[in-house]
Amino acid sequence: MDYFTPSIKMTVVYPNNKLVSNGHEFFPSAVASKPRVEIHGGDLRSFFTLVMTDPDVPGPSDPFLREHLHWIVTDIPGTTDATFGKYVRECH
């Protein structure tokens, strides 16, 4: 993953307590369930959008389907989690 400077802290944790960090890879079985996505910082008057994609479907060795959209959640208030936002698209 290319280096970038985050503008806000976000925590992504799967139900099996797998914490997601930039650049880490997981087996599909470890991330089959929807994660909890928390937004840290900002305030309740700040709103965020979450877009979750898979850049190399079905796998990095042969990504013939390319990018796959999993989620779009809009209007997530700062200091809360994605469940407080509006689910525009949800698929797995």
Q: Name the pLDDT band for 91 (thresholds 50, 70, 90).
A: low
- Locate 40 and state its tokens: 């840290």
What confidence tens digit (pLDDT) does each residue in 26-72 have? 888 888 888 999 999 778 899 999 998 888 877 778 877 778 888 89
Mean pLDDT of 77-83: 93
Domain contains 2: no
| Residue with token string 């400077």 | 5
Domain contains 4: no
Domain contains 1: no
Q: How many domains does the chain have?
A: 1
Domain contains 80: yes
Residue range(s) defining the domain that contains residue 50: 9-90
Cis before residue 58, ω within 30 degrees of 0?
yes
Name the CA dihedral angle for 39, 41, 46, 52, rounded to a multiple of 10 degrees: -30
Domain contains 3: no
Residue 9's Cα: distance from chain center in Å?
12
* Domain harbouring 48, CATH code: 3.90.280.10
pTM: 0.76
Backbone angles phi, psi at 74, to 5 degrees: -115, 170
